[in-house]
Structure 1
Amino acid sequence: MARSKRNYAFFDLDYTVIPHDTLFLLGNFVIRRQFWRIYYLLILVPAFGLFLVGLIGPHGLKRAFLCILAGLSAEQLAEWMDDFCARLERLAFPSVLAMITQHRAKGDYLVLNTASPQFYIERLATRLGFDEAIGSQFELKDPMPFWVRPLGPNNKQNVKLDHMRHLLPAEIISAAQSGQDQPGLAGSHAYSDSSADLPLLRAAEFRHVIQPSARLLAMAEKSDWTVHRPPLPFSGKAGKFLTALRQMLGLYPM
């Protein structure tokens, strides 16, 4: 794909456009359709323990999560993901959707760049008016296998910029990945909630943080980045944890 002559706007997804982890919401959505698929917790819980002690990586954890889709035909998966993404759109921060609309009205090239799986974020990106979606790639088969094979690295941190080499100049990517405090691409904007996205933020001239962590907030205030605080559907870390737990169990209305 040729580099666009338009200005760019890069958005993370989880806790940036949508105030939740979309994988937890995927589990919630599937269980509310077919409760028997709650079996996935028998795989996910021990996998999470292995992840915490470093025996498996992010892709291993995602594979454990995605076993919830095992046996779905390609037609079923497409139907479910269309419905899922319609529901995700309704859960998005209204103020962030307004920012997306403003960028689109200015003619900016919008990129949704996230570690979430490509097979649903590309649908969501289309619904929200993005020009391009970049996510973590997994091999989809008909029917869906129990263990989904990853295609490439987890799309996080520096990898996000590796996947935008067709959009950004090499010197911008190199400086952002090395942590240099440089101006970023002129006229571009980047949005995230997480310090894991510092490379993405540093690649843009205008840097926006959404409900940032204490660490990211300190960096944003020191560097005069724009801080956005849209209302959250939960209160504090305990509320965030309990909301995620409800979603894992299929108890969250959406």
Structure 2
Amino acid sequence: MGMPDAEGHGPSDGLPDLPPEWGRVVVPDDASALAEEAEQLRRELRRRASGTRWRRRLGLTPHPDGRSPLALPALILLVALLTTIGGLLAVTWPRSPRGTERPTVLPASPGTLTGRPLPALDLVDAGQSPVPLRGLLPAMIILVDACACTEQVAAAAAAAPAGVSVVTVTGGRTVGPDPVTGGPIRALADPAGGLRAALHLEPRPGTATALLVDRSGTVHRVIPDLATTADYRADLTQLVR
């Protein structure tokens, strides 16, 4: 039977025997005094019921026979698979590497070759023999890869002073015809296109481009569109000074 409480009363005043470590148990006369504890207990029960319900929906609750749920390994496998796919996408996603991007280089204008040395190029003659271009200086070099421009070439040959070579240059290996038979013109070809590349100037149909180079190998002037001799006669004279 129950033991008297701390104040010498009977066994918990009609309550069944309780463990002594619980101490004195007081039952209030008004049950409303336990409303706060009751509400806290109800919240705890609802939280546990909600957690159990979600675990049951996800298949995470053990089977009645004690077997482990199958949804838990599947969930772990799904998370691992998504993590692996995310890592692969991060590695293989195309992107521009920082620090290795090259700035955009704008094409140089023909004037950038003016005042600079003529590139040391070897062209070929009609017999495909190499001809060093620097060995013909001072010279007026006319690119006729986009236009034979026979009249302009003949006028340049007539205007060139003594000592200034007039050289026509075609693309490929085919040397253009001499517009002035027996005239002071050297017809060459540029198989590699090195002279046109050095100019940074694309060929335009019907247009001949000319370079005036002095005896030291410096480009004195670039004429993108060879026209009348009055436009460059004075420059030809300066090449032999």
Range class of TM-score, shorter chain: under 0.3
TM-score computed with the length of structure 2 as normaliser = 0.21
- Please give the TM-score of this superposition, normalised by the length of structure 1: 0.21
Higher relative contact order (CA 8 A, sep 6+): 1
Higher Cα Rg, which structure: 2
